[in-house]
Copies of this chain bind each other. A is one copy, B any other.
Amino acid sequence: MEENVPFWSILTDLQKEKMIEHSYFQNYKEGTIMNYSGDNCTGVQIIKSGRAKVFISSPDGRAITLYRLLDRDVCMLSAGCMLKNLNFGVNLEAETDCEAVVIDGNVYQEISEENSAVKDFTLAIVSSKFSEVMWLLEHLVFSNVGKRLASSLLEQKNLLESNSLSITHEKLATDLGTAREVVTRLLKQFQLDGLVELSRGKIKIVDEKSLIQLSL
């Protein structure tokens, strides 16, 4: 657990034992749902390896990505039921094959009651995710889609550590909460402007500097 659980060092030996006893490792195949918004009592999920996305979806099937979780990132919202006044749910999906540690929510809460440093940890995680959502909200309200698409391409570049992105227009559209047609049209414009090169299933970033400029 030590290398996976960010708050391990603040636990007593007894608390470590208890947490190990009430946790399990879980593997998720790429594309599978790790948690539905309806069930926010799955437990505290910590990503051991892989990448997951947290998103919300509408009754008519549209979706928007809130943020992503990488190594050692913690999904507290999948244990949202233990958070007083938190009354929304999110979906968690494995974007690559993922391994996660799932800690029983009740046990996590019991240990919080004994160890107030765990409470600090919970508050820091919730504050961090709140900040991510505020960032998204600001971008949605105040910035245009072109700007957000540029940010999104740069984010993908950093995630994949490559200028050549294997990503569909559909997927970019979902991330941005817009229509695929909008993304396709903007990408064609980006290509005309010499920012990217498009080929089947691939987007190659050719002028990163201008893309950064556009994203600001």
Q: Does any Cβ of B come within 8 Å of A41's Cβ?
A: no
Q: Does any Cβ of B come within 8 Å of A136's Cβ?
A: yes
In contact, A133 and B131 (Cβ under 8 angstroms):
no
Closest residue of B by beta carbon distance from A62: B142
Interface string of A138-156 (1 = CB under 8 A from B): 1011110000000000000
Residue from B129, B138, B140 within 8 A of A141 (CB atoms)? B140
Interface residues of A in 62-91 (CB under 8 A from B): 62, 64, 83-88
Count this chain's copies in the assembly: 2
* Residues of A within 8 A of B (CB-CB), count: 35
Q: Does any Cβ of B come within 8 Å of A167's Cβ?
A: no
A10 vs chain B, min Cβ distance (A): 14
Q: Does any Cβ of B come within 8 Å of A1's Cβ?
A: no
Q: Does any Cβ of B come within 8 Å of A21's Cβ?
A: no
Q: Does any Cβ of B come within 8 Å of A58's Cβ?
A: yes
Interface residues of A in 149-208 (CB under 8 A from B): 177
Q: Pick the most buried of A130, A131, A136, A177: most chain B CB atoms within 10 A of its CB.
A: A130
Q: Does any Cβ of B come within 8 Å of A12's Cβ?
A: no
Complex formed: what's the CA distance from A177 to B87 in Å? 22
Q: Does any Cβ of B come within 8 Å of A19's Cβ?
A: no
Binding site for B on A (CB under 8 A): 56, 58, 60, 62, 64, 83-88, 116, 119-120, 122-131, 133-138, 140-143, 177
Can you report 30 residue pairs joining A to B where beta carbons are below 8 Å apart? A56-B137, A56-B141, A58-B138, A58-B142, A58-B143, A60-B142, A62-B142, A64-B137, A64-B141, A83-B123, A83-B124, A84-B127, A85-B124, A86-B127, A86-B128, A86-B131, A87-B131, A88-B131, A88-B135, A116-B116, A119-B119, A119-B120, A119-B123, A123-B126, A126-B126, A126-B127, A126-B130, A129-B130, A133-B134, A141-B177
